[in-house]
Amino acid sequence: MSMNLGVHHLKAIVALADNLNFTSAAAGLGVSQSALSRTIAEAERRLRTPLFLRSTRRVEVTPDGRAVVSVAREAVAQMEANMRHIEGYLSGRRGRVTIAALPSLAATLLPPVVHEFHHQHPDVDLRVEDVLSGKVADMVSSGEADVGVTADFKTAPGIAKRVIAEDAFSLAVHPEHRLAREPSVEWRVLASVPLVRFSSGSSVARAVDAALSEAGVQPPLGVQARNVAAIAGLVASGLGVAPVPAFVRPLMDFAGLKFVPLSPVRTREISLVRHQTRPMTPAGRAWVQAFERVLPTTYADLVGITWRGR
């Protein structure tokens, strides 16, 4: 027995079972009565059993027809649900988006974008992976992440970057520290004060090391930590001062620190990175659009941020 029924057969069977009238069922499907009659007859021929009893006055569903209608109804409902899912995916309303971002950027830069995107696309599974800078490129390259947000990104095979902002470094100090009263502090001054530094491997540590080297500074031994909150707490306890970029500062507000501009100005490039050739999903494109739309307005007054490419 050939069980090769198409979707149009199944829809016709369900429509006729619901209406028990060829005219009404055909109108509901948007086809002619003769076309519906041919489709039902073809389905019965393929199944080798009558599904409906027809007379001049009425249409009845046969026992075999009731069994087939039950299965057809379920199949049609599932197919329509799948088509809605496909439509949602292609429009960017469904799907999954994974963002790889530096921890500090995941905590400060992304929340307003995530809020806006989730409001507009509630059915998209959005994931933010907070990782160190080297891992951002790896995740984008392997396809684990659709897009990355990182700092001072140089180059990686197959990865394209677009600089979206720069954030300037300032010196986090205890409010009673002698440098807290200065309008600005030169990098070379850090040769004579204990530093609280980010652990090696972080984008902040690399930028600070480069700035100190350029200033000819070999700072005295100090304390190192990986977590921004730990850095803030150590500075607040009076163990030293810490050069930090602008996007890190909101995470240190709890410690009641003062931030003094560093001179000469040293900035990090904040970039959006993605694979050069791998097509981005519609949901991924929608997230990038939200990212570009929301951020400059949200952080327009944040000290030390310069937006690029607008």
Condensed to tens digits (0 to 9), the pLDDT of residues 93-128 reads: 667 888 999 988 998 889 888 898 888 888 888 999
Residue 90, pLDDT > 70, answer no
Q: Which class for 117: exposed (0-12), middle (13-18), buried (19 or more C-beta within 10 A)?
A: buried
| Token pair recorded at residue 150 | 């990182």
Q: Is pLDDT at 167 greater than 60 in this prediction?
A: yes
If residue 229 lies in a helix (H) or strand (E), which one and from where to where?
helix 228-236
pLDDT at 281: 84
Averaged pLDDT for residues 189-201: 89
Do the domains 7-91 and 95-162+271-304 sit in the same CATH topology, yes or no? no
Q: Which fold has domain 7-91?
A: Arc Repressor Mutant, subunit A (1.10.10)
Residue 88 has pLDDT above 60, yes or no: no
Least confident of 16-25, 194-203, 253-262: 194-203
Categorize the per-residue pLDDT at 259 as very low, low, confident or very high, splitting at 50, 70 and 90: very high
- Residues 47-56 have pLDDT tens digits of 999 999 988 7
Average pLDDT on 23-41 reads: 92
Percent of the chain with pLDDT over 90: 49
- Which range has the worst mean pLDDT, 87-91, 104-108, 235-239? 87-91
CA gap 15, 103 in Å, rounded: 55
pLDDT at residue 252, rounded to an integer: 93
The CATH architecture one would assign to domain 165-267 is 3-Layer(aba) Sandwich (3.40)
Average pLDDT, the chain: 87
Which 3 state secondary structure label does DSSP give 309? coil
Q: What is the pLDDT of residue 174?
A: 96
Nearest to 156 by CA among 268, 270, 273, 272: 273
Note the pLDDT of residue 1.
47
CATH architecture of 95-162+271-304: 3-Layer(aba) Sandwich (3.40)
Residue 193 confidence (pLDDT) above 80: yes
Give me the mean pLDDT over the 126-144 stretch.
Answer: 88
Our CA angle for 108, 110, 115, nearest 5°, is 115
What are the boundaries of each domain within the chain? 7-91, 95-162+271-304, 165-267
Residue 220: pLDDT above 80? no
Which of 61-75, 91-105, 176-190, 258-272 shows the lowest per-residue confidence on average (mean pLDDT)? Answer: 91-105
Model confidence at 169: pLDDT above 90: yes
Beta strands at 159-173 and 305-307: parallel, antiparallel or unpaired: antiparallel
* CA separation for the pair 103, 150 (Å, rounded): 9
pLDDT at 218: 82
Q: Coil, strand, or helix at residue 6?
A: coil
